[in-house]
Copies of this chain bind each other. A is one copy, B any other.
Amino acid sequence: MNVVVLVGGVGGAKLAYGLAQVLPPEKLTVIVNTGDDFWRYGLRICPDLDTIMYTLSGLVDPVNGWGIAGDTLNALQQLRAYGEDDWFRLGDRDLATHILRTRLLHAGVPFTEVTERLTKSLGISQRILPMTDAPVATMIETMEYGEIEFQEYFVRHRWQPTVKALRLEGIDKAVLTPAVDQALKVADAILIGPSNPWLSIEPILAVSGMRDAIMKRDVPRVAVSPIVGGQAIKGPAAKMMAELGYPVSAASVAAYYGDMLNGFVYDQMDAGLLVPQPHVLNCETVMNTTNDKVLLARTVLDWIKGWS
């Protein structure tokens, strides 16, 4: 069973990790949001890709869910000594990733291939694909600061500004890569991780051809809700939902994805909700331990197999 999962950062990485434990490596493809990517000190930083890469390679910091376990901040400290802004936390080991990625991109290597080289050197056998090879930047129109880059909103201002609208800069030049196209074509199931629908999944779906490539596949197309009991497990999903005028509930996430999906997984805490999808699975979705991740992955895959 070929599985493709669309993810953002930490939440999606948990499901990807669970899937990686229950599927043969060649059967799992992770398509990752790159709208959060940005330039910092002349280096190309791809927070979501790195989170997935560090998670699947086992390097990830288990407490934060991002960055490399046991990493130090000495380069950052020196950058501060040089008078540079240091609100974006870059570990020393982590820097190796950005340095190599930047060198390869400057040498003209396509982003998908850069990512493949990095993941392979870390010993990852699953495929990790950026959503597109073109640079896309999620811009956040805020009440307090006007339009700012995603990381400014998310990290520098700790997602406290009020969101008025989102804009995907560069999305007009973003097309489906052959690798993503092929992965979707042979997928037996297409999953969407419990990531922020607006910040993490919408940029992926906005890539030219992506939504069609998903919808034309007559296979289970299933999202896992990032909203549990009217709250986000992590990050600004719930806050942003309210600010954008949506009722804060799993049902409203399901409605947002609409008929692009034919199935939806949401938490047992929300058992009473009426979710507008043909297939629904109501189960424990909160993933704290390794066991939780594996269990959710197995539960979702078993449920999907039962459809036919």
Which A residues are within 8 Å of any B CB, using their own CB?
A: 41-43, 68, 71-72, 74-79, 81-84, 91-97, 99-100, 102-103, 106, 118, 121-122
Whether B68 contacts A99 by the Cβ 8 Å rule is no
| Main secondary structure on A side of the interface with B | helix
Max chain B CB contacts within 10 Å: which of A43, A82, A99?
A99
Known: A41-B99, A75-B93, A82-B97. 11 other contacts (CB 8 A): A42-B106, A74-B93, A75-B92, A77-B93, A78-B93, A78-B95, A81-B96, A81-B121, A81-B122, A82-B121, A99-B99
- 7 closest residue pairs by CB, A with B: A42-B103, A78-B96, A74-B92, A78-B93, A92-B92, A82-B121, A79-B96
Tell me how far the C-beta of A212 lies from the nearest C-beta in chain B, rounded to whole angstroms: 36
Chain B residues, CB < 8 A from A75:
75, 92-93, 95-96, 99
Residues of B within 8 A of A41 (CB): 99-100, 103
Closest to A103 in B: B42
Copies of this chain, how many? 2
Which residues on B sit within 8 Å (CB–CB) of A72? 72, 74, 92
Q: Are B68 and A102 in contact (CB under 8 A)?
A: no
Bound complex: CA of A100 vs CA of B91, how far in Å?
16
- Chain B residues with CB under 8 Å of A84's CB are 100
Closest to A84 in B: B100
**Inter-chain contact A83/B121, CB cutoff 8 Å:** yes
Shortest distance from the beta carbon of A214 to any chain B beta carbon, whole Å: 33
Decide: A42 and B99 in contact? CB cutoff 8 A: yes
A78 contacts B97, C-beta separation under 8 Å: yes
A31: min CB distance to chain B, Å? 23
- Residue of B at shortest CB range from A107? B42
Query: Distance (Å) between the CB of A274 and the closest chain B CB?
Result: 49
- Please name 23 pairs of A and B residues whose Cβ atoms are closer than 8 Å in the assembled complex, sorted by A: A42-B99, A42-B100, A42-B103, A68-B78, A74-B74, A74-B92, A75-B75, A75-B92, A75-B93, A75-B95, A75-B99, A76-B96, A77-B93, A78-B92, A78-B94, A78-B95, A79-B96, A79-B99, A81-B121, A81-B122, A82-B97, A82-B121, A84-B100
Closest residue on chain B to residue A41 by CB atoms:
B99
Residues of chain B within 8 A of A106, CB atoms compared: 42
CB distance from A49 to the nearest CB of B (A): 15
Residues of B with C-beta under 8 A to A96: 75-76, 78-79, 81-82
Instruction: Give the docked Cα–Cα distance between A68 and B76 (Å).
Output: 14
A93 to B92 CA separation, bound complex (whole angstroms) = 9
A100 to B83, CA, bound (A): 11
> Nearest chain-B residue to A74 (Cβ)?
B92
A11 shortest CB reach to chain B, Å: 25
Give Cα A67 to B244, complex, Å.
51
A74, B75: Cα distance in complex, Å: 10
Distance A281 CA – B195 CA, assembled complex (angstroms): 74
